[in-house]
Chain A
Amino acid sequence: MTTNVMIVGVGGQGSLLASKLLGRLLLDQGYDVKVSEVHGMSQRGGSVVTYVRFGEHVYSPIIDKGEADFIVSFEKLEAARWMEYLKPGGRVIVNTQEIDPMPVITGAAQYPTDLVAKMEALGAKVDAMDALAIATEAGSAKAVNIALMGRLSRYFDQITEEAWLEALAASVPAKFLELNRKAFSLGRAE
């Protein structure tokens, strides 16, 4: 049984750190793990996706349409964009922050409205949170990624909070650990 987590967002939002934390945690838990990242051009403010798959034995490094158990999105429009990848009844954890893409900025397109309701109407379990506010409260807007990982941690019954915090300590520089711990706890608690 393989569990599939997609981490989606806008290039530069810190999805690589989130997948690093997740990979580290799952490896420590004894799972086979594959993490697939995108580097290069799309990192420049484009739509980015990272796939994390874990289980007894994982073959493909990527998650395909209809396969994701979780979509963790750093931005609202990006969650909606990748909805087709969600398994029927899968869960979306979404930061409600809106970052306008260039076609919206230039006026060529509108930022879609009511996205959370629309995602729910498709049958997705949507856990919407203001991760930017949580990260800011924790001490840095950059901790959005860790706040979202805190929320994801609630749905992994088999993994203790302690194990998450150990993996976090191994994934972030010591000087930023305290603020990231705070972002994680606030994200998990809210």
Chain B
Amino acid sequence: MKQLMLGNQAVARGLYEAGCSVVSSYPGTPSTEVTEEAAKYEEMYCEWAPNEKVAMEVAFGASLAGKRSFCGMKHVGLNVAADPLFTVSYTGVNAGMVIVVADDAGMHSSQNEQDSRHHAIASKIPMLEPSDSAEAREFTMRAFELSEQFDTPVILKMCTRVAHSQSIVEPGERITPPVKPYEKNIAKYVMMPGNAKRRHPLVEQRTRDLIAFAENCEFNRVEMADTSIGVITSSTCYQYAKEVFGDKASVLKLGMINPLPEKLILDFAAKVDKLVVIEELDPIIENHCKQLGLTVTGKDVLPMEDEFSQNLIAEKLGLPVPAGKKLEETMPARPPVMCAGCPHRGLFYTLSKNKCTVLGDIGCYTLGAVAPLNSIEMTLCMGASISSIHGFNKALGKEAEGKTVAVIGDSTFMHSGMTGLANIAYNQSNSTVIILDNSITGMTGHQQNPTTGYNIKGDPAGKIDLESLCRAMGFEHIRVVDPYDLKQCDTVLKEELAVEAPSVIISRRPCALLKYVKHNPPLKVDTDACRGCRSCMKLGCPAISIKDKKAVIDNTLCVGCGVCQQLCAFDALKA
């Protein structure tokens, strides 16, 4: 029966139907739902791994053991997993292994706009690129077959608009793939120099074989129409191009993006008057065409940055563009904000008040950088807060130590904060690290992690105790605070900044959006007592505003956390 499915949900369906057995991933927008949806099928073992490198190695282990396996991640996650990626290319697989990487052109929820196709090229691993949900399902299933046929993992590249768009899918039944018993094969699987040297030529031969495959595989499709323009494109850009051109251009749609075909492109080019390459981010197809000696229109008119749309393509190619009318006045922006009752708010208020230099990390709490808290001054990548504070303090010494902190969430800490903390413990910088433990992976929509005590299905699981972990690393100063208690936060922060030793503060309170968290009734404003001093506004809580010089509480948002009450000198905010 036809169903509307998110691209990510369709990938999960493809995993199920292809007989995949083991799924290990780390959440990251826009890839998260693949694994969340996969976990709804009882037939597959699914888990959240601490990070993408671990996930990929888990998937490799399962493939080695003879079961079809999968790992999924966002574009920057593939950087974390790049170490196993480049060598699993050499070992190849036993049972099929598929990797999803989801790029985020337009940076809807990311810190950079990298083009993951470079990873496929650099690691010499084939990459497929679906353009809608139906293809996401089909390509996932075919990826397992390719993986086994060519003895290589296969990367399926998603992007925000394919991952997070729903389109029609016709699901099928699950197959039981043939068993691939594990066999000891030291020459294939032990990548020490002598063996790797013998594997590398096989990788090069595999690429030649895959180029031959790409020349007439079902992933690459020619749609001949008017021949005055020939468009070469892939992924969501195919959909935009069809929207713009309809039958007014011929299209070569590439579903296999690494390696790229040669003869297929040359033959298509020979049939059209003018070639246009439409691809988001880097000119990978375009440069390939140029290497083949073709003249193409591409990044000379189309941008290298941000996502495309039908209007953008039409405009850049000099075609008519629909126009709307906008209001003349500028609308106030509506940036994302920490939720009402967010436990991070009280902690950031304390840091802001103490004028701390705050090195931040990746998660909801990155919003600690925006007004009015303006607290975080650096965010780079997962785990960088802890490693960087060590470098910062080693560089500046006393000048920095007493006022600099690193902040990192519980899930990010498990992902790649622990190694940075080990460095502080080992090389002893006088650093203060704050772990914002909200007992969940918040930003990506509430995934469990090794500190929560629950697994992907919400069943009880192992639980890593943060205090014990820090103690085991040799930290003597480990403090736990409740971020709803501003006085306690302030006292402990001052004490730990003053200490001449590495220290960890755990700011612990569950995410206000977790279903099990019980909220208090909304607060009320005593309008006689309120002087309109705006002290409560320093928190940047979306539930508080000032109307007619008095504080107003939005009772659809307020969860009665009481943090604002602690800032009111006139006792105007009542429970």
Contact = CB atoms under 8 A, between A and B. Distances in A.
B381 interface: no
Given A27-B168, A100-B545, A84 B326 contact: yes
**Which 10 residue pairs of A and B lie closest in terms of their CB atoms, listed nearest first?**
A40-B109, A40-B29, A66-B322, A46-B336, A61-B165, A84-B326, A66-B324, A109-B332, A101-B334, A64-B311
Nearest to B246: A59
Contacts of A61: 132, 161-162, 165, 167, 236, 239
B504 interface: no
B322 A11 contact: no
Contacts, number: 192
Interface string B97-121: 0000000000011000000000000
7 contacts: A41-B366, A64-B322, A65-B311, A102-B337, A102-B542, A105-B542, A115-B327
Interface in B314-351: 321-327, 329, 331-339
Given A33-B4, A60-B310, A88-B325, A105 B545 contact: yes
Given A27-B4, A36-B165, A65-B311, A83 B324 contact: yes
B95 interface: no
A110 B334 CA distance: 12
Interface of A: 10-12, 19, 23-24, 27, 32-47, 58-62, 64-68, 77-78, 80-81, 83-88, 99-112, 115, 118-119, 122-123, 141
B388 interface: no
A21 to B, nearest CB: 11
B537 interface: yes
B168 A32 contact: yes
Contact of B333 (A11, A39, A103): A103
A102 B334 contact: yes
B2 A84 contact: no
B322 A87 contact: yes
B371 A106 contact: yes
Contacts of A99: 554
Given A59-B243, A87-B324, A106-B371, A35 B165 contact: yes
B4 A35 contact: yes
Given A102-B540, A106-B540, A109-B332, A39 B30 contact: yes
Contacts of B372: 106
A77 B327 contact: no
B337 A106 contact: no
Contact of B537 (A47, A59, A105): A105
Contacts of B335: 46, 101-102
Contacts of B339: 12, 44-45
B544 interface: yes
Nearest to B166: A35
A80 B327 contact: yes
B256 interface: no
Interface string B137-180: 00000000000000000000000011011111000000000000
A40 B322 CA distance: 30
